[in-house]
């Protein structure tokens, strides 16, 4: 029966992990967008020909619901380049280079809701509390195992 505490620990750890870190689901996005410099740009069907200079690229792609840091996109893969458009401020719009060499216009919608410090977002507090609780349970478990071991000697 010396494996019973280990079994209980693994079972408890699995339950806590699944509770505090639920799997993300695929999102049904309202808009296809990119994030650049902390702002959301909604991608349109409009092609752009007057390209100025490269200003950045996608650093994180995901079609899963959530908020992400960096130059995130829910349509373009990591590495897709962003460009400024001649005669248009990046405060208004940017161009996205697609695989086939066509540039699509993306219009600035507003500040990105995602936090640049994902670890510090509100949901992280629950995870931190869960981890601290788990560490407390492990410490108490080790205490009782050690106490039982000393009793047997």
Mark whether 47 and 72 lie in a shared domain.
yes
Query: Which residues form the domain of 141?
Result: 1-24+121-153
How many whole angstroms separate alpha carbon 124 and alpha carbon 130? 10
Mark whether 56 and 95 lie in a shared domain.
yes
Mark whether 108 and 148 lie in a shared domain.
no
10-residue block means of pLDDT along the chain (153 residues)? 63 64 56 93 97 96 82 94 98 96 96 63 68 84 77 64
Q: Write the CA distances from 41 to 10, 96, 134, integer angstroms.
A: 45, 10, 41
Counted domains in the chain: 2
pLDDT at position 21, please? 56
Mark whether 138 and 73 lie in a shared domain.
no
CB 145 within 8 A of CB 139: no
**Residue 110: count of CB within 10 angstroms of its CB:** 9
pLDDT at position 70, please? 87
């Amino acid at each position: 029966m010396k494996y019973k505490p280990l079994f209980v620990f693994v079972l408890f750890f699995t339950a806590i992990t699944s509770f505090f870190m639920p799997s993300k689901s695929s999102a049904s996005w309202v808009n296809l967008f990119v994030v650049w410099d902390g702002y959301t740009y909604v991608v349109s069907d409009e092609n752009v020909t007057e390209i100025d200079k490269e200003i950045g690229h996608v650093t994180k792609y995901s079609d899963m619901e959530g908020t992400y840091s960096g130059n995130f996109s829910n349509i373009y893969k990591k590495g897709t380049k962003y460009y400024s458009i001649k005669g248009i401020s990046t405060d208004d719009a940017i161009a996205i280079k697609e695989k086939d060499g066509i540039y699509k216009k993306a219009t600035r919608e507003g500040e990105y809701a995602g936090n640049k410090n994902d670890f510090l977002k509100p949901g992280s507090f629950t995870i931190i509390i869960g981890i601290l609780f788990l560490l407390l349970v492990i410490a108490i478990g080790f205490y009782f195992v050690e106490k039982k071991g000393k009793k047997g000697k």
